[in-house]
A and B are shown apart, each in its own frame.
Chain A
Amino acid sequence: MGGDAGRRNLSIPELQELSKDCRKHIVKMIHNAGAGHPGGSLSAIDIIAALYGTRLRFKTSDPDWEDRDRFVMSKGHASPAVYSILHEMGFLNENDLSTFRALGSVCQGHVDMKWTDGVDFSAGSLGMGLSFGLGCALAARMDSSSRETWVMVGDGEIQEGQIWEALMAADFHSVSGLKLIVDRNRIQNDDFVNVQMEVGDVASKIEAFGWSVREINGHDMEEIVEALEWASNENSGPSAIVAHTVKGKGVSFMEDNPSFHGKAPNDQELERALEELS
């Protein structure tokens, strides 16, 4: 594989720097749009930075390169996390980020493959991405391609039955090219998951569906990188990482705070957030 198609192999400090920059983009983007989902973007961004910084093989110059690894962001409301990394990887420019949610913007409210180079799935309706990823992984296997498909879902999202249909099917078809990451931030839209409908021991449940599973601290960069490498090399069937995270991670007043699931920071809040992230 030539050009920019190889893995990026960023170091731990580089990844930490990368996710910090992404966090700043996230809060700025959402503040600027006056709407968006900071909580689930900030909980996921360390993992996403590590994924793009160490695992995914793609070409910025050729976003549709058919043998690229796929990243299916199933919890599509966390789009600012995706746009921030796509910006850092050279798919989007600063101006694109500033148009987030505006009419005609390449940065649609929820990630959309039809609108944005580098986006592999059109999300927004929760519960569909793992099935889509399964389709991508099955196609890769039929093509005898080693490309990988990584899917990220939220812990509230797995209340959708379709997720469990896909878990069952991926095991039955023994699709080892499919890798799942669960952002276990314990909060969903209205409230904490254990108030809305607790999903319990997610790792055991997914394991019971036949997957290889690991649990990690989703903000410990070394643990993340190591787990991604493990999943990447897992060839006996589909593999999953249950990442224990903090919703709103990095901005004190957003952390563990259900009210920042889908609310933009105001001017003062943005200032405070950027101070904390500097």
Chain B
Amino acid sequence: MSAPSTGGASRDGYGSALLRLSADPRVVVLEADLGKSTKSCLFRAEHPERTVSLGIAEQNMMLVAAGMASSGKVPFASTFAIFTERAFEQVRNGISRPGLAVHICGSHGGIHTGTDGSSAQSIEDLAIYRTIPGLTVITPCDDLSAEELTVQLLDHGNASYTRTARNKTPRMYDSETVKSLEIGKGSLLREGGDIAIVACGVMVSEAMEAAELLEGEGISARVIDMHTIKPLDSGILDDARVNCRGIVTAEDHSVIGGLGSAVAEYLATKGGFPLRMVGVNDRFGESGASSELMRHMGLTRNEIIAQAREIINSV
């Protein structure tokens, strides 16, 4: 893989995807006064007649989207990840239970959001949405993959939640490699035979850096971009179980209920496998610059490296 270039934030990819999707007249966009932040504003500028502004009223937005989906539209509704959570029961009862293909995007996910502080830093969204039957849960790592995966939602057929990030992250894909992505299939970004680092969202680039540094220590680490948390790609985990000595998960999310938990649940059903989780350790975030805060909370390549070493030293 070529050296990563700097792209936009994954939320920019979401905005670009909406523009591409606008060619389909069924696509409608719903906003709750954060369209400039989630980037649905790009769609609004071109297609105001298919954009519905619902004010700061997330519960209403979710059900308006459901009603539109029941009437043949393909709704994309977005706000901050944390504020989608206010409407959790609406998503559960009003969208997923009747099987309506509403696509929710929660932007500004995770600690990475930065200086706004803990009220804006969703660290439990992946966990709660993962519990809803039939809801696809996605968290892309860069702008290009966010765009690609969002475009794929058009005919996905069931409801989805996509978490995007506020800040720019290094690109893990280019315009060609991104085309190989598929919802529900983990993406192998780097080969390696000792450790598998399974990461999602903004932690994927940290995982790549960690793998590079581990290489220098003689530890060969593969990196999997697990952009889809649900359905979880068990095949790519099986391959890691057979060919590696342990797995390190990495996510900008609580270690309770997110990617690490999903992987742990799967491994447990297979009789267990050495696993370490890097994530938010059951605490709230706080204000701070994004990168500073990620270090403060232990969401770094160094933490991934430390966990990888522990596995190598203990098995």
Determine if B97 and A135 form an interchain contact, defined as CB atoms under 8 angstroms apart: no
Contact of B70 among A112, A113, A124, A125 (CB under 8 A): A113
Q: Give Cα A232 to B60, complex, Å.
A: 24
- The proximity string for B residues 70-85 relative to A, scoring 1 for CB distances below 8 Å and 0 otherwise, is 1111010000000000
> Closest approach, in angstroms, between the C-beta of A67 and any C-beta of chain B?
10
Determine whether A239 belongs to the interface, using a CB cutoff of 8 Å to chain B.
no
Determine whether B49 belongs to the interface, using a CB cutoff of 8 Å to chain A.
yes
Q: Determine the main DSSP class of B at the interface with A.
A: helix
B73: chain A residues at CB < 8 Å are 139, 142
A124: chain B residues at CB < 8 Å are 93
On whether A136 and B60 interact (CB within 8 A), knowing A128-B93, A169-B54, the answer reads: no
Binds B, one of A2-10, A160-168, A266-274: A160-168
Determine if A136 and B68 form an interchain contact, defined as CB atoms under 8 angstroms apart: yes
Which chain B residues (54-101) contact chain A, with CB distance < 8 Å?
A: 54-55, 57, 59-73, 75, 89-90, 93-94, 97-99
Determine if A132 and B66 form an interchain contact, defined as CB atoms under 8 angstroms apart: yes
Q: Give Cα A173 to B31, complex, Å.
A: 13
A161: chain B residues at CB < 8 Å are 59
Q: Give Cα A169 to B59, complex, Å.
A: 12
Q: Give Cα A264 to B93, complex, Å.
A: 26
Q: Give Cα A66 to B73, complex, Å.
A: 12
Determine if B66 and A135 form an interchain contact, defined as CB atoms under 8 angstroms apart: yes
B68: chain A residues at CB < 8 Å are 135-136, 138-139
Complex: chain A residue closest to B94, CB-CB: A128
Please indicate which of the listed interface residues B50, B59, B69, B71 has the most CB atoms of chain A within 10 Å of its own CB. Answer: B71
Q: Give Cα A131 to B94, complex, Å.
A: 10
Complex: chain A residue closest to B69, CB-CB: A135
Determine whether B28 belongs to the interface, using a CB cutoff of 8 Å to chain A.
yes
Known: A131-B66, A131-B94, A138-B67. 20 other contacts (CB 8 A): A66-B71, A125-B89, A129-B63, A132-B64, A132-B67, A133-B67, A134-B60, A135-B63, A135-B67, A135-B69, A136-B70, A136-B71, A142-B28, A142-B50, A149-B67, A162-B59, A162-B90, A165-B55, A166-B64, A169-B60
**Contacts A/B (CB < 8 Å), 6 sampled:** A122-B93, A125-B93, A135-B63, A137-B67, A165-B59, A169-B64
